[in-house]
Amino acid sequence: MPKKNKNPFLKWGNFRTKSNYRWMVVGMLLMPCFLNYADRQVIFSVFPVLEKEFGFSKLQLGMIGSSFMWVYAAGAFLSGFLSDRWPRKSLIVGGCFFWSLVTACTGGCSKLWQFVVVRALEGVGEVFYFPASNSLIADYHGLGTRSTALSLHQSGVYAGTIVGSWLGAWIAEYYGWRYGFYFLGGLGIVVAVFLGRFLHEPHHHQGVLKETFTSRKHSVNPSVECASTNRQSVFKCASSSTSLLPSSISNLPSPAVVAVSPVSIQPVGRIVALGVLEVFLILMKQPTVILLMMAFTAATFVTGIFLTWMPTFLYEKFSMNLASAGFASVMTIQTASVVSVLFTGWSVDRLIPKIPHARVLVQMVSLLLGIGSIVAVGYVAHLGTLIVAMVFFGFCKGGYDSGLYASLYDYVEPSLRGAAAGLMVTFGWSGGALGALVIGAVSSHGVGSSMDRMSHAIIWSASVYAMAAFLLMGVLLIKVDVQIPFLRRKNLN
């Protein structure tokens, strides 16, 4: 007798295979994505309070802020590697529960080393989320909806940053800084329990199988073996189904059935059997991957500065109160980024059939347009002009972020998505940690006032943003197809 399905989301047959459930997955993952950034951002909005209450210098505050980023960067590749091998649902749910517990514990800190330790532990919990969640979303969504789905998921980053910064500052101003951590930590534990009940692991590389076996003129009904959620069965089914493919790709090597990357095509089953070092070497042998990751490092150097120091910058330079500084520092940039990332992601999905490298092209243009706004943020002395510059920077940042992981997935093996995303986070957040620490060090030592030194450092960070744009230009100059030809078709859904 078949087991009764207790999940209300699946009561009408196998809902997981239907298109509306794949969008429900994106909606459910918006919750931990939101908390992932709200929990890490809330500490920055209370820096002025911590500075007064505990006597921390800006260098010490930079150490607190960057401790999360260093650990997050160090563990990202391993977390991505594991997300290609372990159930991604378990990594998402377990990570959300752990980092939420640590967030709640932050409210009990009173010494520098305690803040550094809890921030580092929060990095341990949060590092598993994005490689696993982005890989899971990519398996639910094929080429025709992937940018849209990942961009929608990315919008949770901006919403979490806004609410975390504002809510932390507002609660600190009226009730004390500790209660913001208690509230967000408790909320995260509830979300983890919810995801454990309703989130489901898809067939691994389901999106790739759909792209491979389905085309406008050739419809395939894969064998029952493909319906298994066991990954080995999926690999076996995919690698043994070359006879089902259209004749237009019959001359391609059989490994290309599953691994659709233009570079170093290999069978998925073989890749999953590789060790950490072997996977790392495969990724680092691809010039496009290296350039994308270096560009992300440079872009996140600037992002780390804005996330860490903008509340303090507004509080001290423009004499705003704590809640207003926390709100304005993120509301302007992140709201513009949400609008930009959703519109750009949707638009790029429609450009891909005509312009295969559209994702990287849009990212490069966005970075170039953002250079002037970074200079303006550090230079202007009028609050209204500063807000305009921050909004424009947010639009440009959203344009870059819309293709952040989707661009990377265009150039790597589908079975390496988690590891590739993890390695990209390692590169990027190393840059973010360095940016946060450099600004703290420059603000604490040197000639002139602390705010003058911080302003000049922000201006010079625009050159790092320009470097990111030129690295993406290198990706466009490398003559590599984004996907093998049989995937480039009009019906990409």
| Chain-centre distance for alpha carbon 308 | 17
Q: Classify the C-alpha dihedral 469-475-478-484 as positive or negative.
A: negative
| Chain-centre distance for alpha carbon 150 | 9
Report residue 212's pLDDT band, with 50, 70 and 90 as the boundaries. very low
What local confidence, expressed as pLDDT, does residue 488 receive?
40
Contact between residue 288 and residue 480 where contact means Cβ atoms under 8 Å apart: yes
Q: Is residue 213 part of a domain?
A: no
Mean pLDDT score, 237-243: 37
Contact between residue 83 and residue 132 where contact means Cβ atoms under 8 Å apart: yes
Domain total of the chain: 1
Report residue 251's pLDDT band, with 50, 70 and 90 as the boundaries. very low
Considering only 202-206, 304-308, 408-412, which range has the smallest mean pLDDT? 202-206
Q: Is residue 160 part of a domain?
A: yes
What local confidence, expressed as pLDDT, does residue 453 receive?
92
* pLDDT tens string 64-81: 999 999 999 999 888 888
CA distance 485 to 478: 17
* pLDDT tens string 283-298: 999 999 999 999 999 9
With tokens 């290309």, the residue in question is 256
Q: How far is CA 395 from CA 332, 344, 390, 416, 492, in A?
A: 10, 10, 9, 30, 27
CA distance 75 to 77: 6
Q: Is residue 398 part of a domain?
A: yes
Residue 224 has pLDDT above 70, yes or no: no
User: Of 414, 5, 9, 16, which is closest to residue 202 (Cα–Cα)?
Assistant: 16
Spatial CB neighbours of 349, under 8 Å, sequence gap ≥ 6: 144, 145, 146, 147, 148, 492
For position 25, which CATH number holds?
1.20.1250.20
Q: Is residue 317 part of a domain?
A: yes
Contact between residue 435 and residue 44 where contact means Cβ atoms under 8 Å apart: no
What local confidence, expressed as pLDDT, does residue 450 receive?
87
Lookup: tokens for 273: 């059997």
CA distance 426 to 72: 7
What local confidence, expressed as pLDDT, does residue 410 receive?
85
* pLDDT tens string 354-366: 888 889 999 999 9
Report residue 416's pLDDT band, with 50, 70 and 90 as the boundaries. confident
What local confidence, expressed as pLDDT, does residue 220 receive?
36
Spatial CB neighbours of 304, under 8 Å, sequence gap ≥ 6: 66, 69, 429, 431, 432, 433, 434, 435, 436
Q: Is residue 374 part of a domain?
A: yes
Residue 218 has pLDDT above 60, yes or no: no
Higher pLDDT, 482 or 104: 104
* pLDDT tens string 171-210: 999 999 999 999 999 999 999 999 999 998 876 555 544 4
Lookup: tokens for 222: 């894969």
What local confidence, expressed as pLDDT, does residue 226 receive?
40
Range of the domain at 115: 16-203+283-487
Residue type, 380: V
By the 10 Å C-beta count (0-12 exposed, 13-18 middle, 19+ buried), 15 is classed as middle
C-beta neighbour count of 445 within 10 angstroms: 12
Contact between residue 150 and residue 405 where contact means Cβ atoms under 8 Å apart: yes
Mean pLDDT score, 6-26: 62
User: Of 476, 439, 137, 122, which is closest to residue 307 (Cα–Cα)?
Assistant: 439
By the 10 Å C-beta count (0-12 exposed, 13-18 middle, 19+ buried), 94 is classed as middle
Residue 259 has pLDDT above 50, yes or no: no
Query: Average pLDDT of the chain?
Result: 81
- Percent of the chain clearing pLDDT 70 (strictly above): 79
* pLDDT tens string 431-451: 999 999 999 999 888 777 889
Q: Is residue 194 part of a domain?
A: yes
pTM over 0.75, yes/no: no
Residue 379 has pLDDT above 60, yes or no: yes
Q: Is residue 379 part of a domain?
A: yes
Residue 241 has pLDDT above 60, yes or no: no
Higher pLDDT, 110 or 147: 110
Report residue 19's pLDDT band, with 50, 70 and 90 as the boundaries. low
* pLDDT tens string 24-61: 999 999 999 999 999 999 999 999 999 999 999 989 99
CA distance 33 to 283: 26
Q: Is residue 8 part of a domain?
A: no
Higher pLDDT, 320 or 405: 320
CA distance 257 to 243: 10
Considering only 14-18, 195-199, 351-355, 483-487, which range has the smallest mean pLDDT? 483-487
What local confidence, expressed as pLDDT, does residue 174 receive?
92
What local confidence, expressed as pLDDT, does residue 413 receive?
81
Spatial CB neighbours of 456, under 8 Å, sequence gap ≥ 6: 378, 442
* pLDDT tens string 112-163: 999 999 999 999 999 999 889 988 998 888 777 887 898 889 889 888 988 9
